[in-house]
Every structure is written in C-alpha cells, then in structure tokens.
Amino acid sequence: MTQPPFASQSATGKLPAEGTQARRFGKTRSAQSTALLEDYVELIADLLDSEGEARPTDIARRLGVSHATAIKAIARVKRAGLATARPYRGVFLTEKGHALAHRVRARHRLVVDLLRALGVPTESAEADAEGIEHYVSETTLKAFAQFLKARG
C-alpha cells in the first residue's frame, strides 16, 4: 500500500537530498523571523498614510496583540533601522522602512490578485495573503506576475 507523500517528501515519495531539505526548512525559519518585521512595518505605513500617526496602542489593537508585545516588536523594528519613535508622537518609518513597506505592499497585492484570479473570495484572499506573502520566493512572485499579465 502506497502512503501519501508528506510535506517534506517529493511527489515520488522519496525524501529530498539532505542539503535541499535543510535549505527549504531554513528558508521557512528565516521567513518566519522576517514576517514579524514586515507585518509591523506594513501596518505602521498604513496607519501613517490613513491616520497620520502610528501609535503603539493602535498597532497592538490592529495586530491583536498586547501593548507590551507591540512595544517589544516595535523596539525590534527600530533596532533593524526601519523605524524611529518620538515621545508622545508614535512610530515613524525610516527611508529603509518606507522601502520595505512598499515592497511588502506590492507583494501582498500580487498574492491577493493571483488568489482572486483563481476564484478565491476577496476576504479569504486578503487573509491568506497575509501568510503567503512572507514565504513566497521572488521566483514564484515573478511567475505569479507573468500568469496575471498573460490573463490580461
């Protein structure tokens, strides 16, 4: 009896080479670490654009985390050189932070557009894109863009 392949196995049921498998898992771990920074930077940019300020309290509420969790994450974003904070004024993106926010927004839009083209309802596409956007490679994003361009 043939067993179905697991996530770490290929369609043939054979394990990939050790180096290949380690590289794949390493990419995922790296993406998980980067995803937090990207989510915060993207939200800070959105709040700055729509509200004119990005206060830690608003960030925490919108991400569904505690104020303390948001403060710790914002400190990490600041250490990465992506944001600054001013007393009683909230959080502001650096030039590097704005550039990252722009890339993350574009990636998010592309993933949403692809999912919508596949027939996924808008709300599901938006929610699913929040996870997918952090893990998809540049090669795959280019393929998504080519697919959408070919569809018109």
Say if residue 87's pLDDT is above 50. Answer: yes
pTM of the model: 0.77
Query: Do residues 42 and 31 lie in contact, with contact meaning Cβ atoms separated by under 8 Å?
Result: no
Q: How far apart are CA 20 and CA 81, in angstroms?
A: 32
Burial class for 40, CB neighbours closer than 10 Å (0-12, 13-18, 19+): buried
Round the average pLDDT of the chain to a whole number and report it: 88
Say if residue 24's pLDDT is above 60. Answer: yes
Extract the tokens encoding 48.
């700055």
More confident residue, 24 or 5: 24
Amino acid letter, residue 3: Q
Q: How far apart are CA 150 and CA 78, in angstroms?
A: 40
Domains detected in the chain? 18-151 (1.10.10.10)
pLDDT tens digits for 134-151?
888 899 999 999 999 999
Per-residue pLDDT, 1: 47
Of the pLDDT bands very low, low, confident and very high (cuts 50, 70, 90), residue 57 is very high
pLDDT tens digits for 69-79?
999 999 999 99
